[in-house]
Structure 1
Amino acid sequence: MIPADHNLRIILEGCKREQRASQKELYNRFYGYGMSICMRYARHYEDALEILNDGFLKVFRGLPRFSYPEDENRLPSSLVTWIRKIMIHTAIDYYRSARHHAQEHEYELQEGKEAVYEQGDPLNRMTYAELIGVVQQLSPAYRAVFNLFVIDGFSHEEVAAILGISVGTSKSNLSKARLHLRHLLKNTHEEIAAKYER
C-alpha cells in the first residue's frame, strides 16, 4: 500500500512547485490507494473517480502545508495517512453535495428477515470487490456511516460531527446499514455460493 521510493521527498517538492511531471508521478503512485477509499463511499466507478480527482486537487493544494516527519523513513506512512484523511473528507463532501441535490432513497427492511451465516459459508470467501459491490448498494446515508464507523474506525461522536447528524442517527443508520447488508447478502447468497462451488 505504501509506495517504497527514495525520491518521494523530491516528488513532493516538485508538486509544491506545481511541476506537472511530479504531480502526475504522485497521482499514479497513489491512484490505487486513493481509489480503494473512494470506491467504498461512491455508488459507481464514475463517482469514485470524481471524488478521487477532487481529492488529489486538495492534496496538491495542501502540500505546501504538509509537514515532513523528522524521521525520513516515516515519510511514506505519514503521507499515506494524510492522503487517506483528505480522500475520506472529500468523499463525505461529495455525499453532502449529493444529499442536497437529490432525494435519498431509504431502503425499508421487513422485520425478521435477517440472515445468519455459518463459518463455512461461501459468503466468508467473498472477494474485496464483491464485498464493496454490496456496500455500494446501500443508500448514501447508510453507506457513509458504515464506512466511517466500521471501516475507517471513527466513533459515533466523530461520525455525527463529520456528517452533521446526531449520535443517535449515526447509531440508527449503522444498525440499518448492517440489517440491509444482511438482506443484500441473503439475496445474493445463491449466486455467490454457486460461484465458489464450481
Structure 2
Amino acid sequence: MLSQIIDGCRKGHRKNQKELYQMFYAYGMSITMRYADSRDKAAATLNDAFMKVFDNIRKYDRHRPFKPWLRKIIVNTAINHFNANKKYQNWEGLDESSEEIGQDETIISGLTYDEIIEMVQKLSPAYRTVFNLYVIDGFKHEEIAELLGISVGTSKSNLFKAKRNLRALLEKNLM
C-alpha cells in the first residue's frame, strides 16, 4: 500500500500526497515537537518537511525503507528552521567551571512521553536543538557543530547545560 501511495506522489496526485501526510503526520509531529517550542511551530516545520518530501519523492530509493528517509528530511527541516532563527539563539561556549561534560543521565521511568517533551520544550532553543540532535537523533558533536555552525566545545557545553536544566526540571516536577 505504501508503495502505491509513493507511486501516486511521484505522479503528483494530491490524493496520494494527502494519504502519505496523514499516514506519517503523528510520526513527523513526534520529531518536530522535540525541536519546536510550540505545537504551531512544530506543525509549520512538519508542513515544510512534507513539501520537501513531495518535491524530492522521485529521489527516494525504493530499495530502502521509507521512514528513515522521511525522518532525515524532517530533522534537516527542523535544523533549517532553527538556523533561520539563529540570530535569536543564545549559544554558550565552554566556561571555566570544573563541571564534567558527557556523563550519561537516566530518564525517570514514571514520566509520560508528553511530559518529557514538555520539559524539553522548556529548554532554550540552543540547548533543545543540541540535546535532540545528540541524545535523540544520535548525531556526534562534530556533526552538530557543522550543522549549526558552532564549535564542538560549544556543542558539548550546550548539551551539558541542557542535561543540567532538564535535571532541575525533573526535580521540580517530582517534588
| Letter of the 2:2 counterpart | L
Matched, 1:15 2:9: yes
Q: Show the counterpart of 1:142.
A: 127
Take 1:99 and 1:188, find their aligned partners in 2: how far apart are those partners? Answer: 30
Residue type of the alignment partner of 1:53? N
- TM-score normalised to the size of structure 2? 0.87
The answer to whether the Cα contact below 8 Å between 2:89 and 2:125 also exists between their aligned partners in 1 is no
Q: Look up the match of 2:68.
A: 81
For structure 2, the 5+ residue unaligned runs are: 98-105
Identity of aligned residues (%): 50
1:128 and 2:113 correspond: yes
Q: Report whether the alignment pairs 1:178 with 2:163.
A: yes
The equivalent residue for 2:103 is none
Structure 1: 4+ residue segments shifted above 6 A: none
Structure 2 counterpart of 1:131, one-letter code = I
Look up the equivalent residue of 2:68 and give its one-letter code: T
RMSD in angstroms over aligned alpha carbons? Answer: 1.9
Q: Please say if residues 105 and 139 of structure 1, whose CA atoms lie closer than 8 Å, have aligned partners that are also in contact.
A: no
Moved more, 144-153 or 91-100: 91-100
Aligned length: 163
* Alignment partner, residue 159 of structure 1: 144
User: Could you tell me how far 1:104 is from its partner in structure 2?
Assistant: 3.9
Aligned-partner Cα distance in 2 for 1:103–1:10: 42
Larger Rg: 1
Return the offset for 1:19: 0.5
**Structure 2 counterparts to residues 1-198 of structure 1, below 5 A:** 7-69=1-63, 78-100=65-87, 102=88, 104=90, 123-190=108-175
Please list the CA deviations of residues 133-155 of structure 1 after superposition, one character each: whole Å capped at 9, or x if unmatched. Answer: 00000000000000000011111
Matches of 1:99 and 1:43, distance apart in 2? 14
Looking at structure 1, the residues matched to 75 and 147 of structure 2 have their Cα atoms a distance apart, in angstroms, of: 10
Judge conservation of contact 1:138–1:180 (CA < 8 Å) in 2. Answer: yes
Rounded Cα–Cα distance in structure 1 between residues aligned with 2:83 and 2:168? 26
Deviations 1:17-69 (A, max 9, x none): 11000000000000011010000101110010000000000000010111110
1:73-109 residue CA offsets vs partner (Å, 9 max, x unmatched): xx5xx11000000000000111111223x35498xxx
Which residue identity is paired with 1:187? Answer: K
